[in-house]
Amino acid sequence: MLNCYRFTRTIVHLNTLGSVLVNHHRIERRPLEQQQNFYCNTSYDTDYEYKSTFKTKSVLDRDKKKTSVLTGQERTTKSDTANLSLLNRLGLLQKGLSGFSNETGDNQDDGNLTNLMKKKRKKKNVQLQSTLNDDQVKDNSNITLNTNDNNDTIEYHPSLSSKSKSKSIDKEDDNNSIVDKPKRKRKTKKEKELELQLLESSSSSNKSGGITVENEEVVLHPSMTGDNNHSSKVKRKSRKSNKINEQSEQDQHNVEYQTNIDGVIPHDVNWLINNQMTMIDSPIDYTSSDIIIDQKQQQQQVKKISTTTTTTKAPKRVVHKPMDENAIRRFKEWINYRQQLLESIPTQVDLPDLEDAPLTVTPENAKQSPLNQAFPWDRFVEGCNRLVFGNERLRPLQSDAINSVLYRRDTFVSLPTGGGKSLCFQLPAIIDSGVTLVISPLLALMFDQLSKLLQLGVPTCALNSSVPVSEKKKIIKELLDPAGCPYKLLYVTPERMKTQEFIDILEHLNNTSQLKRLVIDEAHCISEWGHDFRKDYRKLSKFREMFPNIPIVALTATATPKVELDIKQQLSMHNTINIRGSFIRSNLKYEVRKKSTEPEFCFNDIYHFVNRNHKNSSGIVYCSTIAECESLCEYLTDRGLSVDFYHASLNAAQRVDTQERWITGKFKIVCTTIAFGMGIDKPDTRFVIHHSIPSSIESYYQQTGRAGRDGKLSDCILYYNKNDIRKMLKISTMGIVAQSHEEYQKIMESKTENIDTVTSYCVGSECRRVSLMEYFGEETKPCKTMCDNCTYTKANHYFEDDDNIREHERVYTSRFNYGATKKSKSKSRRYISMDDEEDEVD
């Protein structure tokens, strides 16, 4: 029998938490010596691997001094570089780089490379000329594109050529990778000397004054900037350039290829508020490290329509998606805008006072809330939201949440599904310095957010079981880099928190003042009373003990008051600011339909509903079992709909792949168990159908919350019959972990109560919206037009027959017997839910 452990609640004395909240009422710059400024420099090591490193000020004593716009103090200049090692991993650098300088204004693509080359020419021993002629580019094929005036160093080496499409640098563990990577090549002595000279000259040549935050070059692929001439010009120029260093044909080819890269955006986006106001650099790679199954594996992938489940090997993967052009444009604008803002910021900024006491902000009191006042970061928030995320404005309560997070207060955010909770921590993470640690319960959810952030250009990484070992090692190395970590957000599953290796990483980040906050997404998973309880979420309660000064941000869309209290207690949140929005989703139409006991009838009904109303729209159909999932998928596919299935028996790679294909519209309808859902953000999802009843109202709200996230009218249909009650009861009590019979019974009671509530919802005749909101403790008026009960007065005849009511009562009253039966077999037993998603920790 499996031993089972129940996590003991950790009690943290409140007095140890006194220092948790950083009450910084005044932002002042520290003396220069005290600042922990990290400077980024990119170079490649002897193995010709690109390397992006941050260096502390003390390390970079060779760097030039600049005058801060904020203080007038002289400061060491910083390097703003692409995260080349990340790029390298994603297979970009083999294609070369092209330059675009944003400092010189937009649409100056011709000038971009030229600017880079200008800077490069300053290096003594490369003998580059300082005018814009064809010769400028001649050494393009050489080792570097160094922009040391701005300390933007982008290096390129001929060995990383398109021709040398050899195996990946990561080849040792990415055998299945579909990314071709360049072959390593030993540097010649000459090259080494040249490189050394370049580095020396780069570190000694910068004499510009100006502002501290100066490195904001945006390097783009010409095709992305719409300048096709650029490529050809560079090619032409590079062909002429054979004077300085003799380059091989391969090198020349590299120059050409250099212009064909998807691009790279180095930037710095950190505004450090921890008693100083400065910017640190953050190398960035705007490619998306989407994790997909490699081609071979895809081919081998077992046809999904089958009764047996597939067990292909774990994901090996990386494919990068080009960045969205609008995102690039916005990002450039953001950099310019931020630059302007920084120039206008005074050297000292007062933070408004916020009482050190719990505070609740709701839509009703938001206007009078102390969070609704001017904060020094307001324009940064506005600019970042508009330019990085492409949103016109913040939604109600988002700005309160962001202010609270930036003020470094413990923050509990409960906004409706699709309410924009992610922005409440992602935006502060970008504006603030250091790393934001995000706990995310599902690989799919993590993948979704990671992919989006990378596409937006935000340096983000994830550590989970689907990340190949080689990449994991690299990420860990970067996180542990004594000189500084390049990422703004680090996503992990709760399981990772229990490994000593990861705790060491966190300790390192904390000791170097880089760990800025812990974010717990889908925080209801921490509560046993929550609908998606995950035992490893419980372990997060240790975080406060380990890092008492790090603020905690918990977010959920489905917390009842009881769950909310439990979350805060578990996490030892202190003087929490609660941001509480209305749960109403006014664009969702709710309907409950009677489900026939004949599976085919229900399948047929679903088919007709979709075919009639949402033939070409995306939607989700939730089923209670894997078998149901697959047979419904088969049925709908046979009838000509575009369908696939998703459930916990698929391995991580298959799940990621299915999710990605659904999100990108490769197929329209996903038949799934509850393994799919939390956090899935496909705005144009027009319907969510529950083929079987959900295990709780929270689950139902969460799952239907996938629909209509773009604000457009969407349908939520729930099929209900009495058999499903018993079936769901069985399923939802399978995963119970209990140490004693009493505990088991307690959990059983809670689970059955949840199902009772769902049943009441189904058979009830009051407005669906009112019923749902009542559950979350919110009062509202009947929707009148948005549910079956309001629109069809007789709709519930089906559920008022004696049979159903009797069955409902029988199940309700038999629940204690059910627990007792289990007890007789075993006092302590662990049942594994088939939909349990746990991250394998290696």
Ligand X SMILES: Nc1ncnc2c1ncn2[C@@H]1O[C@H](COP(=O)(O)OP(=O)(O)OP(=O)(O)O)[C@@H](O)[C@H]1O
| Residue 385: CB minimum distance to ligand X, A | 6
Residue with tokens 């009639």: 612
| Residue 699: CB minimum distance to ligand X, A | 12
Helix crossing, 325-344 with 443-456: angle to 10°?
70
What are the C-alpha distances in Å from 762 to residues 610, 732, 800? 21, 18, 10
- d(Cα 626, Cα 730) in Å, to the nearest integer? 15
- Using the rule CB under 6 A, is 391 a contact of ligand X? yes
Residue number with CB closer to ligand X (394 or 525): 394
Residue range at the interface with ligand X (CB under 6 A); choices 415-423, 465-473, 818-826, 834-842: 415-423
Residue number with CB closer to ligand X (116 or 621): 621
Under DSSP, the state recorded for 488 is S
- d(Cα 737, Cα 181) in Å, to the nearest integer? 47
Residue number with CB closer to ligand X (679 or 694): 679
Residue number with CB closer to ligand X (394 or 770): 394
Residue with tokens 């719409």: 226
- Sorted by sequence, the CB contacts under 8 Å of residue 265 that are 6+ apart come out as 82, 218, 219, 220, 284, 285, 286, 323, 328, 331, 457
Residue range at the interface with ligand X (CB under 6 A); choices 168-176, 392-400, 721-729, 749-757: 392-400
Residue number with CB closer to ligand X (463 or 557): 557
Residue number with CB closer to ligand X (452 or 639): 452
What are the C-alpha distances in Å from 178 to residues 32, 106, 175, 292, 791? 47, 35, 8, 10, 54
Residue with tokens 């917390």: 559
Residue number with CB closer to ligand X (681 or 766): 681
Find out whether 441 and 540 touch, Cβ atoms under 8 Å: no
- d(Cα 426, Cα 385) in Å, to the nearest integer? 10
Secondary structure E strands in 388-525 = 411-414, 435-439, 460-463, 489-492, 515-520
- Torsion angle, CA of 561/562/568/572, rounded to 10 degrees? 150
Among 398, 470, 733, 833, the residue binding ligand X under the rule CB under 6 A is: 398
- Using the rule CB under 6 A, is 395 a contact of ligand X? yes
Residue number with CB closer to ligand X (38 or 583): 583
From 410, 256, 255, 389, select the one nearest 334 (Cα to Cα).
Answer: 389
Total interface residues for ligand X by CB under 6 A: 18
Residue number with CB closer to ligand X (137 or 454): 454
Q: Which x/- pattern over 154-193 shows residues binding ligand X (rule: CB under 6 A)?
A: ----------------------------------------
Under DSSP, the state recorded for 368 is G
Residue number with CB closer to ligand X (429 or 641): 429
Q: Within a 10 A sphere around the Cβ of 310, how many other Cβ atoms?
A: 14
Residue with tokens 């007890």: 823
Find out whether 375 and 352 touch, Cβ atoms under 8 Å: yes
- Using the rule CB under 6 A, is 530 a contact of ligand X? no
Residue number with CB closer to ligand X (441 or 484): 441
| Residue 705: CB minimum distance to ligand X, A | 5
| Residue 710: CB minimum distance to ligand X, A | 7
From 279, 578, 540, 581, select the one nearest 405 (Cα to Cα).
Answer: 578
Q: Which x/- pattern over 340-379 shows residues binding ligand X (rule: CB under 6 A)?
A: ----------------------------------------
Residue range at the interface with ligand X (CB under 6 A); choices 295-303, 389-397, 632-640, 831-839: 389-397
User: What single letter denotes the amino acid at residue 143?
Assistant: I
Shortest Cβ contact with ligand X: which residue?
A: 420
Q: Cα 66–69–72 angle (5° rounding)?
A: 70
| Residue 400: CB minimum distance to ligand X, A | 13
Q: Within a 10 A sphere around the Cβ of 797, how many other Cβ atoms?
A: 11
Residue range at the interface with ligand X (CB under 6 A); choices 339-347, 412-420, 490-498, 797-805: 412-420
- d(Cα 93, Cα 163) in Å, to the nearest integer? 12
How many Å separate Cα 712 from the centre of its chain?
24
- d(Cα 643, Cα 533) in Å, to the nearest integer? 29
Range 551-580, binding ligand X (CB under 6 A): 557
Residue range at the interface with ligand X (CB under 6 A); choices 269-277, 308-316, 420-428, 537-545: 420-428
Query: Quick check: helix, strand or coil at residue 705?
Result: coil
Residue range at the interface with ligand X (CB under 6 A); choices 77-85, 244-252, 351-359, 411-419: 411-419
Among 361, 423, 442, 463, the residue binding ligand X under the rule CB under 6 A is: 423
Positive or negative CA dihedral for 560, 407, 81, 234? positive
Among 415, 437, 563, 588, the residue binding ligand X under the rule CB under 6 A is: 415
Among 82, 97, 261, 394, the residue binding ligand X under the rule CB under 6 A is: 394
In angstroms, how far is the first alpha carbon of the chain from the final one? 24
| Residue 443: CB minimum distance to ligand X, A | 15
Among 544, 709, 808, 822, the residue binding ligand X under the rule CB under 6 A is: 709
Residue range at the interface with ligand X (CB under 6 A); choices 119-127, 414-422, 529-537, 568-576: 414-422
Range 638-697, binding ligand X (CB under 6 A): 679, 681, 683
- d(Cα 164, Cα 172) in Å, to the nearest integer? 18
Residue range at the interface with ligand X (CB under 6 A); choices 1-9, 143-151, 393-401, 455-463: 393-401
| Residue 553: CB minimum distance to ligand X, A | 13
Find out whether 474 and 84 touch, Cβ atoms under 8 Å: no
DSSP-derived secondary structure for 536-556: HHHTTHHHHHH-TTS-EEEEE
- Using the rule CB under 6 A, is 140 a contact of ligand X? no
- Using the rule CB under 6 A, is 420 a contact of ligand X? yes
Find out whether 318 and 472 touch, Cβ atoms under 8 Å: no
Residue number with CB closer to ligand X (681 or 836): 681
- d(Cα 126, Cα 124) in Å, to the nearest integer? 6
- Using the rule CB under 6 A, is 494 a contact of ligand X? no
- Using the rule CB under 6 A, is 417 a contact of ligand X? yes
| Residue 82: CB minimum distance to ligand X, A | 26
| Residue 398: CB minimum distance to ligand X, A | 6
Under DSSP, the state recorded for 278 is B
Residue range at the interface with ligand X (CB under 6 A); choices 296-304, 336-344, 410-418, 774-782: 410-418
Residue number with CB closer to ligand X (254 or 422): 422
Residue number with CB closer to ligand X (415 or 758): 415
Among 96, 111, 376, 418, the residue binding ligand X under the rule CB under 6 A is: 418
Residue with tokens 């689907």: 466
From 655, 687, 654, 653, select the one nearest 674 (Cα to Cα).
Answer: 655
- Using the rule CB under 6 A, is 441 a contact of ligand X? no
User: What single letter denotes the amino acid at residue 471?
Assistant: E
| Residue 424: CB minimum distance to ligand X, A | 8
Range 50-89, binding ligand X (CB under 6 A): none
Query: Quick check: helix, strand or coil at residue 827?
Result: coil
703: left (phi over 0), alpha (psi -120 to 50) or beta: alpha
- Using the rule CB under 6 A, is 599 a contact of ligand X? no
Token pair for 170 = 């990561």
| Residue 792: CB minimum distance to ligand X, A | 28
- Which spans of this chain sit near ligand X (rule: CB under 6 A)? 391, 394-395, 398, 415, 417-423, 557, 679, 681, 683, 705, 709
